[in-house]
A and B are shown apart, each in its own frame.
Chain A
C-alpha cells in the first residue's frame, strides 16, 4: 500500500476525504436500514447471501471497489471519453425499450444471467459527463439558441428513452439538470416559472371546491389569479426596474379586487373571479402599452408569463381529470388530501407515515420496528426505505440522515465551486442536483409531502444498479476534483 501511495501521492492526498467519510457513513446507515426493512422473524443471519441484507453487503463491497477503480483512473479519461460513454449508454437505453423482460410493469431492467441491471441508473452520470463536456466547449453560451437546443437535447434524449421504458419516475430525475443550467447562467425566471406552475396547480386543485368567505367564489381560483397578478407585478419591479409603474399596478389591482370582494360579501354575492379576469386583462393591456412605449422586451415576456400562467392553470384541471391515468390522478388527489381512501391510493403513504410516526424520538431500535418488519409498508427496502429509518432510529436517526445528505450536498457545492474549469463545475453541479432531487422526492413522498414517484434514496434503497450508479456519479466527480491540483502543476 505504501508503495502505491508513493506512486500516486497527489491523488490520495488531494482527494476530498470529507466526501468519502460522508459516503461511508451513508452506506453504513443504508445497510442497517436494509437489514431492518428486509428482516423477517425467525431469520437471524443478516449476512447470509440469501437475504437482501447479505446481498446489499455484496453491492456495497463492489461499489467501494468501483469507487477505488474510478479514482485510480486518469482524470483526463472522463473528459476525453464523455461523448463515447454517453453514446454507449444512449444505445443501451434505446435497446432496453425493446427489452422483453417486464418487471412490475417496467421494461427498464436488463437481465444478464442472474444479474439484473437498470441502464437508467448509469445514464445519469453519462448524461452529466456529456453535458459537462458540451457546456465547457469554448464560446458556449446558454443564451445562444443553438447551444441551448443542443443542451436540451442532451438532457431530453435519455429522458424520452426512459419514459418509453415506462419508468416515468426515473425520467423526472433529469429535471434536476435545470438547477445546473441555472448555475450556468439560465435566467432564474425559468426556474421561477416552474415553481409557480407547481404552486398554481397545488393551490388551484386543492381549494377549488372551497368557497371564499361566503361568496360563490372558488377560493382556489381566486388565490391563483391573485398570485398571477402579484407575480407579474413583482416581475415588473425586478426585470423592468420600474418601481413607480409596479406600485401603480399593484394599487389598481388590489383596490379593484378588494372593493368587489367587499361588495360580494356584504351586498350581492357573485363570483369575483370574473372581476379578476377583467383586471388581469387590463393589466396585460397595460403591460403591452408600456412595452410598445418603452420598447423593452421584458414587458412582452411578462405578458407571456401572465398569459401562460393562466392558460396553464385553466388547462391543469382538464389535464388532471381527462389526460392523466387513474393511478396518477389518485396519487395527486391523495397528496392534495382530496382522496382519503386508505385502502386504495393512499395506502402506501398512510402506512409509511404511521411507521415513521410510531418511531418517536429515539425509535424502536435496530430490527425492532413492527410496521416495517410486518411488511405493512410496500417497497419498504427500496423506495420506502426511509420509513425504516424513521421507525427504528426515531427522530434523532432520521433527522441525522437528512443532515448527512445536506452535508454531502453542501460539500459538493463547495467542491464544484473550486473547480478551475467549467467541465468540473458543471459535472459537480449535475451530481449534487441529482442527489438533491432524489432526496427531495424520495423523503418527501415518504413524509406525504411530494407525490409518490418511484425513485430510490441514494445509498439507502436496496439494489445494485442504483448503488453502483450513484457511486459512479460521485467518484467520477471526486476524481475530477482530485485532479484540479495536478493539472495546475
Chain B
C-alpha cells in the first residue's frame, strides 16, 4: 500500500512548514530587534501628551500701570461621535447666536480637516466672551457631545499704544516651521512687543503624560506623573512708555497723519511712540480680530502702519543740526564763520530759497533762524574742499560716516518689529544716479534735510536725544524691565557719534536761540529751558510740519520728535504739539492754558483727500 515515492513528499511539506516559520522568525527579528522605529511609534501612539499652557507675562507702563493682562475665554469643542443626530440645531444656533448655514459649514469643515477623528474633541468655535459663554452654558446640557475648553486671551486695559503693544493671533504654518515649540491652534505675538518679546512673554509649556486608547480616550496618568513637566509662566514686562504721555500724544494727533516719538536721553527709553491714525488694541482680541484686521488693512490711511519706525520722511530743517556738527568737526567752519544769505543760496545759477533774516550770519544765528543759505554753503565748501579730501566722493563718504554715526541710514535696533532704516546717500549712490558727474551743487538739498535724505521719526527723536546728551545716545527701546532678567546689553551701551562734545554745545546754543527768538518761540516756557528746531519738509503736496527738541536744556529729561504730514510750517503743528508733550512729561500735567490749547489741537484736522497714504 505504501508508495515510497510519495512518502518522500513529507519532506516537502515539512520543508514548507520550516520555511514559513523561519521567514516569520526573521521578520520578528527585524521588527523587534533591528528597528527602533516601531518602539518610538508605540510611544507616541499610547502616550497622550496633554499640554498645559503657561500664563503669558503681563505688560505695564513705566509707572506700573497695568496695560495688558490675560482674561479667560472659552472654546466650544465637539466630539462628533457623541453629537451624531442628537442635536436640536435651531436651539443650538440660537444659543450661540449663529446661523444654521454657519453651523453646517463649520461642521463640514471640521470633518474635512486633516487629522480629524470623530472620537476626539474638535474645535467648533473659539474664544467666546464671558457673556456669550454664560448664555450657552445654561443650555449646554441639551447639547450632548459639546464641551467647553477654557483658555486665556489678551485683554487691553486702555485704548492706547496699539502699535507698541501689538497683538496675538493663531500661529501660521510658517511660524510652526520656524519654531517647533508651536502646534496648530497655539497663539503667537504678531506685532509690537507681543511679537518681539514672544519668547520671554510666552513662558514654557508644561506637559502631562497620559495613557490613552485607540479611540483617544484618556485612561490613566503615566507612572503617576513622574515624567510630567509643570508649565513655566511667562515673564512680566515693564514698558518705558509713560501711559499719560502716550494718551496725550494720541489725543493731540487726532485727525492728523504723523508721529510723535519721545525718548529719555539719559537711558534711551522711549517715553511715547504715537503713530497716527491709530486704533483701539481691544478690537484685536477674540473672535472679531480677523474681521477688524481686514477692515484696518483696507483703510487708505493705513492705521496698521507704525509710522514712528516704518515711516521714512525727509527730516527738513531739523537735519541742519547734523550739518552744523559735521562742518564744525571737519573744520569746514568755525563757530564764527559767516556766510551770506540774501533770501537764499545763489551760486552758478542754482537757487535755494530762504526767508528774511539778517545777513551775513554765524552758526548759532543760522540755526536760530533756520537759514537755508548757511548750510548750503557749508556743504558746498565741504564737498568742494580739495585740500582735505581728494575727491567729492571722499568728502561725500566722510559726510555719510557722520550721519551713520548719529544713527541714520541703518536701523537703530529698537525692540519692535518692522523698523525701517531710512536713507542716507553715499558717493556710490550719486555716482550711479548721476553717472559719476556730480558735485556739491548737485546734491545741495541734502544739507537742509531734503532730497534723498529720509529718516524715521524715531531717528529724528534719537537725534534730539543725542544733542541733549551732547554727543551720545543709547539705542532706543520700549521695554524698560523684564521680570527676573537683565535688559539686553545692546540697550545699555552708549553710542558716541563722530562729532565731539564742543560741537554739540554750539548746536544746543542754536536750538536754545530758536526757542528764545527764532522759529520755535511758541515752545518757550518760564519754568524750564526748552531747546528746539523746526522743520518744514517740502514734498509733493502741502509741506510736512516737523519739530525736534528737548528739555530742560541742562540735565534733559525728554527729547522729542513731532512729525505731522502736510501740517505746513514747523511752527504750525510741530512746535505747539511738542511743547505740550514736554510740559506733560516734565510737569506731570498740563496747566489750564495748555489744556485748552490741547483741546484745540485735538479738534484740528487736516484734510488729506481720499487717496492712499
Contacts and interface: CB of A to CB of B under 8 A. Distances in A.
* Central interface residue in B21, B33, B215, by most chain A CB within 10 Å: B21
B10 A413 contact: yes
Interface stretch (B1-9, B264-272, B426-434): B1-9
B17 A406 contact: yes
B31 interface: yes
A179 B32 contact: no
Interface in A246-271: none
Contacts of B213: 374-376
B45 A371 contact: yes
B39 interface: yes
B552 to A, nearest CB: 72
B170 interface: no
A449 B26 CA distance: 12
A356 B28 contact: yes
Contacts of A398: 28, 32
B38 interface: yes
B219 interface: yes
Interface in B1-50: 1, 3, 6-7, 9-10, 12-14, 16-18, 20-21, 23-25, 27-29, 31-33, 35, 37-39, 41-43, 45-46
Interface in A395-449: 395, 398-399, 402-403, 405-406, 409-410, 413, 416-417, 421-422, 429, 432-433, 436, 439-440, 443-444, 447, 449
A354 interface: yes
A353 B34 CA distance: 13
A355 interface: yes
B24 A361 contact: no
B42 A370 contact: yes
A358 interface: yes
B219 A360 contact: no
A354 B16 contact: no
Interface residues of A, number: 50
B42 A355 contact: yes
B31 A356 contact: yes
A439 to B, nearest CB: 7
A409 B16 CA distance: 11
Contacts of B23: 449
B244 interface: no
B212 interface: yes
Nearest to A410: B14
Contact of B42 (A188, A358, A361): A358
A184 B220 CA distance: 57
B283 interface: no
B24 A444 contact: yes
A390 B6 contact: no
B10 to A, nearest CB: 5
Contacts of B73: none
B10 A353 contact: no
Contacts of B16: 179, 436
Interface string B196-220: 0000000000000001111100011
A356 B38 contact: yes
B21 A179 contact: no
Q: On chain B, which size bracket covers the interface?
A: 35 or more
A182 interface: yes
Interface string A332-358: 000000000000000000010111111
Interface string A48-83: 000000000000000000000000000000000000
A183 interface: yes
Contact of A395 (B9, B20, B28, B43): B28
Given A374-B214, A410-B17, A357 B37 contact: yes
A147 to B, nearest CB: 16
A449 B24 contact: yes
B45 A447 contact: no
A113 interface: no
Contact of A402 (B25, B43, B46): B25
A181 B385 CA distance: 113
Nearest to A376: B214
B357 to A, nearest CB: 82
Interface string A122-151: 000000000000000000000000000000
Contacts of A436: 16-17, 20
Interface in B129-164: none
B32 A361 contact: yes
A376 B46 contact: yes
A466 B29 CA distance: 29
A469 interface: no
* Central interface residue in A355, A357, A440, A444, by most chain B CB within 10 Å: A357
Determine chain A's interface SS by DSSP, over half rule: helix
B28 A399 contact: yes
A357 B31 contact: yes
Contacts of B35: 357
A432 B213 CA distance: 38
Contact of A443 (B7, B9, B24): B24
Nearest to A180: B13
Contacts of A354: 38, 41-42, 45
B21 A375 contact: no
B18 A360 contact: no
Contacts of A376: 45-46, 213-214
Contact of A375 (B25, B27, B38, B215): B215
B13 A179 contact: yes
B193 to A, nearest CB: 42
B46 A370 contact: yes
Given A182-B9, A371-B45, A358 B21 contact: no
A394 interface: yes
A436 B15 CA distance: 12
B220 A440 contact: no
Contacts of B46: 370-371, 374, 376
A413 B10 CA distance: 7
Nearest to A380: B214
Given A353-B38, A370-B42, A183 B13 contact: yes
Nearest to A182: B9
Contact of A351 (B9, B31, B214, B219): B214
B39 A357 contact: yes
Interface string B280-298: 0000000000000000000
Contacts of A443: 24
Contacts of A447: 24, 27-28, 31
B13 A413 contact: yes
B387 to A, nearest CB: 75
Nearest to B18: A406
A355 B220 CA distance: 19
Contacts of A410: 14, 17-18
A354 B37 CA distance: 8
A378 B16 CA distance: 30
Contacts of B6: 183-185
A358 B24 contact: no
A399 B212 CA distance: 29
Contacts of A371: 42, 45-46
A374 B219 contact: yes
Contacts of B18: 406, 410
A359 interface: yes
A355 B38 CA distance: 8
Given A182-B13, A374-B211, A374-B213, A358 B28 contact: no
14 contacts: A188-B9, A351-B45, A358-B41, A360-B39, A403-B25, A410-B18, A413-B17, A417-B7, A417-B10, A436-B16, A436-B20, A444-B20, A444-B24, A449-B27
Interface of A: 41, 179, 182-185, 188, 351, 353-361, 370-371, 374-378, 390, 394-395, 398-399, 402-403, 405-406, 409-410, 413, 416-417, 421-422, 429, 432-433, 436, 439-440, 443-444, 447, 449
The 10 closest A-B pairs by CB, nearest first: A357-B38, A358-B42, A370-B46, A374-B213, A376-B214, A395-B32, A406-B21, A375-B213, A357-B31, A358-B39
Given A356-B32, A375-B215, 13 more contacts: A41-B220, A179-B16, A354-B42, A357-B37, A358-B38, A358-B43, A359-B32, A374-B46, A399-B28, A417-B10, A429-B13, A436-B16, A447-B24
